[in-house]
Structure 1
């Protein structure tokens, strides 16, 4: 008899554990009877594709989760089924591109990075109704390197251009071997530029500070404006909007 009870308990525990590890579909409904949401749960946590719907049956949101944490792409639609927003998540934090649409046309492109475990809006590009970039309301940069692979001893070079400035006044670029949070580094070089009739917020950087194999040159663009604190003109203050970038390149032996 005790053996029988033990076997029953083991079977019950196995069945409960098997149920917990099984992906379960969850469906909710609007008052009109149409589907409100569809999702999956694993161990009582949202896992896999999630979809929500308007009362007219059109898809409102499509997102993805991994063990209760939002991950991968997320899409928003209006009640007519037209896309309104596309974004990306990594471990519950928004990162990468976020695209905003107005009546199906791209109106804004935002670029997020993860820094110190938080999401940071690094660049944004706004578009006119004709689909052209509006530099007056945008803030973004471009990187241009002639080579992504060089030989040991060869100079690596890159052009950094602030295509659209937030303050439209000054730019300073700091290059170095920063960590992924752009905090620690063993060396740094600084180049600067300022707005005038001859300047286009562009710097050319060269370096031989690298090692064999894969390298990542990171940098920070300081888009800033300087002004006096008061009429005495003794203390100068700065408003800064930093933009972060990284450039991978490979160094091979001759």
Structure 2
């Protein structure tokens, strides 16, 4: 009985937190704790919980994850400050599994392919900044300049997240 009461209190606290966060713009610096609470709430409540974080400076979505039974499940997205996607992928039972896409700041694809068990599999398509398909090869054969652009974009995204933009 005592354990059920604690679980109920945790669930009520999580729901209160999420309802408060949904009505106000959140500060991206608190991302880690709120994301962990969403993960825990999905396990406690036994239903999917969508975690969404907004950029403080623009009010646009920065991150979106769905948690089921304490794990990332289904589509996840990350966004540039301008609102365009930076990346999108899929999880199954907390493991990357499915289509993976990375984008330029202008919204055009950089590369796309498939991942299974956190590993890049099969052929990946890569594109120039105008969206023109440049090739389709195994991931390890994508030209270094395309990989470098993607890594720079991701590094800047995480730098902006940490700075509280």
Normalised to the residue count of structure 1, the TM-score between the two structures is 0.41
Distance in 1, Cα, partners of 2:86 & 2:95: 20
Partner of residue 107 from structure 1, selected from 106, 110, 115: 110
Question: Once superposed, what is the RMSD of the aligned Cα atoms?
Answer: 3.6
The 8 Å contact of residues 75 and 86 in structure 1, kept in 2 or not, is answered as yes
Counterparts of residues 232-247 of structure 1 (less than 5 Å): none
SS of residue matched to 2:56: coil
Q: Alpha-carbon deviations, 1:97-143, whole Å to 9, x = none?
A: 11111111112102112xxxx322013110123423212xx315xxx
Aligned partner of 1:72 in structure 2 is 74
Partner of residue 24 from structure 1, selected from 11, 14, 39: 14
Aligned partner of 2:85 in structure 1 is 83
The 8 Å contact of residues 70 and 90 in structure 1, kept in 2 or not, is answered as yes
Structure 1, unaligned runs of 5 or more: 1-9, 141-163, 168-254
Higher share in strand: 1
Aligned partner of 1:96 in structure 2 is 98
Rate the CA distance shift 1:15–1:81 in 2: closer, same or farther, 3 A: same
Aligned partner of 2:44 in structure 1 is 43
Which entry has the higher C-alpha Rg, 1 or 2? 1
User: Size of the alignment, in residue pairs?
Assistant: 125
Distance in 2, Cα, partners of 1:65 & 1:165: 31
Structure 2, unaligned runs of 5 or more: 143-165
Aligned partner of 1:139 in structure 2 is 137
Counterparts of residues 182-201 of structure 1 (less than 5 Å): none
Q: Alpha-carbon deviations, 1:36-66, whole Å to 9, x = none?
A: 3666414399951111121122210001111
| Greater relative CO (CA pairs within 8 A, separation 6+) | 2
Distance in 2, Cα, partners of 1:121 & 1:13: 42
Distance in 2, Cα, partners of 1:112 & 1:45: 27
The 8 Å contact of residues 87 and 103 in structure 2, kept in 1 or not, is answered as yes
